[in-house]
Amino acid sequence: MKKPIYLLAGLLLLSTTLLGWGFWGHQRINHMAVFCLPPEMVGFYKKNIDFVTEHAVDPDKRRYSDKEEAPRHYIDIDHFGTHPFDSMPIAWKEAAAKYTEDTLKAYGIVPWHIQIMLSRLTEAFKNKEEDQILKMSAELGHYIADAHVPLHTTENYNGQMSNQKGIHGFWESRLPELYGEEYDFFVGRAVYIKHPLEESWKIIRESNAALDSVLKFEADLNSRFAEDKKYTYEQRGKNNVKIYSEAYSKAYNEMLSGMVERRMRAATLAVASYWYTAWVNAGQPSLGDKENATQLDSLRSQIRREEAKMKQDRIDGVVKGHEE
Ligand SMILES: [Zn+2]
């Protein structure tokens, strides 16, 4: 018997999209960040560009098996009042004293997690552990990129509170997928970040400032678009998936007037700048002295083992935070 296709499609509606930039975007950001690095670093990173690109998405893979992972990717800053940036202390200790650790973890910890990853990367540079340098670079890049997404700063992260469900993947995956090849990723040279935690908060503030437009433009567009013109169906592998139509995407992208590209460019420069900052703070060690091919092979198989384990003990329904 032939299955009614609309039923199947309904079930699959954009259900795997709350991942921050999608695979393409995360990989692109890490990849292009390499070209912003100073001469002392760029050779090593270019040689290992496939690794930092491929592993840009590892933190998202962990979200379904490790319940500590999800809150590292966002902060629902609007949970903390009308002027949350005035009331939220910048430092973790003071923020935890004010709101409790549990509350912070429930609403997201991305600015502080960037700080943790930065110190891990700095440590790896100090110890000249090249496999760890690459692993930490790839993962730090992920969290920095996530912090650049406006919908990663709100409780209404998928438009579920404003009848705009699906907007998360629309903004961060569908639009870059359609128009990303035209983006200009030459964003200049990495800069030293004197106050990394303050910088992370600055990124969050900028993302949050763009949130109004992200939601309002889509709501406006939705009100003047017929439902049957808004979505289309596309075959992806074995699945027939309901996605935002090209006409709808084009109109939204025009209203956003380059916002997605601007956030991706800012993310790329920030990723390179945090890598560079870690390297400077570690005393500018020389890179690529050792032959790290074997190290990387064993790191890769370690990651593969972890992924296999994750699949096995996936905790369905337990993992909370920005999921459907
Ligand atoms: Zn993420």
Q: pLDDT by residue (tens digit) across 46-95? A: 999 999 999 999 999 988 788 899 999 999 999 999 999 999 999 999 99
Residue 228 Cα to ligand 1 middle (Å):
31
Residue 3 Cα to ligand 1 middle (Å):
34
> Among 76-80, 133-137, 173-177, 274-278, which stretch is predicted with the lowest mean pLDDT?
173-177
User: Containing domain of residue 287, as a range?
Assistant: 5-312
- In sequence order, the β-bridge partners of residue 240 are 235
Burial class of residue 22 (count of CB atoms within 10 Å of its CB; 0-12, 13-18, 19+): buried
| Residue 52 tokens, joined | 């930092």
Integer-rounded Cα radius of gyration of the chain: 20
Q: Looking at residue 293, what is its pLDDT?
A: 65
Residue with more model confidence, 290 or 224: 224
Residue 289 Cα to ligand 1 middle (Å):
32
| Residue 4 tokens, joined | 């009614």
Residue 216 Cα to ligand 1 middle (Å):
24
* Total domains in the fold of the chain: 1
Asked if residue 324 belongs to a domain, the reply is: no
Q: Looking at residue 303, what is its pLDDT?
A: 83
> Among 63-72, 75-84, 110-119, 303-312, which stretch is predicted with the lowest mean pLDDT?
303-312
Residue 157 Cα to ligand 1 middle (Å):
13
| Residue 87 tokens, joined | 């009331």
pLDDT band at 227 (very low <50, low <70, confident <90, very high): confident
Percentage, residues of the chain above pLDDT 70: 89
**Which backbone phi and psi does 257 adopt, to 5 degrees?**
50, 55
Q: What mean pLDDT do residues 157-182 have?
A: 94
Asked if residue 93 belongs to a domain, the reply is: yes
246-255's contacts with Cβ under 8 Å and 24+ in sequence apart are 246/178, 248/221, 249/170, 249/174, 249/175, 249/178, 250/178, 251/221, 251/225, 252/170, 252/175, 252/217, 252/218, 252/221, 253/175, 253/178, 253/179, 255/217, 255/220, 255/221
pLDDT in tens, 94-106: 999 999 999 999 9
Residue 21 Cα to ligand 1 middle (Å):
8
Residue 283 Cα to ligand 1 middle (Å):
30
Residue 231 Cα to ligand 1 middle (Å):
25
Q: Looking at residue 295, what is its pLDDT?
A: 75
Q: Looking at residue 237, what is its pLDDT?
A: 86
Burial class of residue 48 (count of CB atoms within 10 Å of its CB; 0-12, 13-18, 19+): buried
Residue 26 Cα to ligand 1 middle (Å):
9
Q: Looking at residue 323, what is its pLDDT?
A: 59
Residue with more model confidence, 285 or 228: 285
Residue 322 Cα to ligand 1 middle (Å):
10
Asked if residue 317 belongs to a domain, the reply is: no
pLDDT band at 18 (very low <50, low <70, confident <90, very high): low
Percentage, residues of the chain above pLDDT 90: 75
Asked if residue 319 belongs to a domain, the reply is: no
Asked if residue 170 belongs to a domain, the reply is: yes
Asked if residue 240 belongs to a domain, the reply is: yes
Instruction: Write the CATH number for 70.
Output: 1.10.575.10
Angle between helical axes of 22-33 and 130-147 (0-180°, round to 10) = 120
Residues comprising the chain, all counted? 324
| Residue 111 tokens, joined | 């600015």
Q: What mean pLDDT do residues 210-239 have?
A: 93
Residue 143 Cα to ligand 1 middle (Å):
6
pLDDT higher than threshold 80 for residue 20: no
> Among 133-142, 172-181, 198-207, which stretch is predicted with the lowest mean pLDDT?
172-181
Residue 69 Cα to ligand 1 middle (Å):
9
pLDDT band at 1 (very low <50, low <70, confident <90, very high): very low
pTM of this structure: 0.88
Residue 224 Cα to ligand 1 middle (Å):
32
Asked if residue 239 belongs to a domain, the reply is: yes
Q: How far is residue 18's CA from residue 175's CA, in Å, rounded to a whole number? A: 14
pLDDT band at 318 (very low <50, low <70, confident <90, very high): very low
Residue 73 Cα to ligand 1 middle (Å):
5
Question: Residues 273-295, buried b or exposed e (16+ Cβ, 10 A)?
Answer: bbbbbbbbbbeeeebeeeebeee
Residue 142 Cα to ligand 1 middle (Å):
6
- In sequence order, the β-bridge partners of residue 232 are 243
Residue 52 Cα to ligand 1 middle (Å):
15
Residue 20 Cα to ligand 1 middle (Å):
5
* Average pLDDT of the chain to the nearest whole number: 89
Residue 240 Cα to ligand 1 middle (Å):
25
pLDDT in tens, 256-284: 999 999 999 999 999 999 999 999 999 99
> Among 8-12, 56-60, 135-139, which stretch is predicted with the lowest mean pLDDT?
8-12
Residue 146 Cα to ligand 1 middle (Å):
5
Asked if residue 242 belongs to a domain, the reply is: yes
Residue 229 Cα to ligand 1 middle (Å):
30
pLDDT band at 288 (very low <50, low <70, confident <90, very high): confident
Would the CA dihedral through 293, 295, 300, 301 be positive or negative?
positive
**Which backbone phi and psi does 281 adopt, to 5 degrees?**
-65, -20
Residue 60 Cα to ligand 1 middle (Å):
5
Q: Looking at residue 31, what is its pLDDT?
A: 97
Q: Looking at residue 4, what is its pLDDT?
A: 42
Q: How far is residue 150's CA from residue 129's CA, in Å, rounded to a whole number? A: 34
Residue with more model confidence, 274 or 290: 274
